[in-house]
Amino acid sequence: MRLVGISGSLRRGSYNTALLDAAAAELPEAAELVRVSELALRFLPFYDEALDGRNAVPAVLALRRMLADADAVLIATPEYTGSIPGVLKNLLDWVSRPYPGNCLLGKPVGVIGASTGYFGGVWAQADLRRVLDLIGASVVDSELRIPAAHTAFVEEGGLRDPAHRAALRRVVRELLGNDALRSAA
């Protein structure tokens, strides 16, 4: 099984990128997590309908293909000004087209996030779930919010709190589905 991971943060040392790494450690052997690169996010042009269609930007076509080929998608989002980061919203604008029939339509998607604030990015995750629902993704119910992210990780990169590790495991399991877990056992 192939899981595509998207971090909504471009920051070097991002807590959300670290959260994707922690999720990768929870995958069964038969599964892999492949991340959308920071460079792909950084150099994705702002969504412009005139650039879409037959003349779509090659980076957009590659991104759509990557997501279409994935069995599931895991998005780790920080919270910027009470919502999702612009770079993540831009990515979603590109992959949501053409509708219907976009590469996320019916695709299992998990939403997790880490924030240095006390609420763990609750607003960003709620906004992201709403956008994904409108796109037609199949957003899993399990979720994970990591507050005080600057204290949440051990030096080796994993999550410090056993409850956070267990919640991350639940998200990954729901995202991969029972069939994947049975075949990995």
The model carries a pTM of 0.93
| Amino acid at position 9, single letter | S
pLDDT in tens, 160-181: 999 999 999 999 999 998 554 4
> What domains can be seen in the chain, in order of their start residue?
2-184 (3.40.50.360)
> First CA to last CA across the chain, in angstroms?
14
Classified as helix, coil or strand, 159 is strand
Quick one: residue 101, left, alpha or beta (phi over 0 = left, psi -120 to 50 = alpha)? left
Element (H, E) at 140: strand 138-146
CA distance 45 to 79: 21
pLDDT in tens, 40-97: 888 899 998 888 876 778 889 999 999 999 999 999 999 999 999 999 999 999 999 9
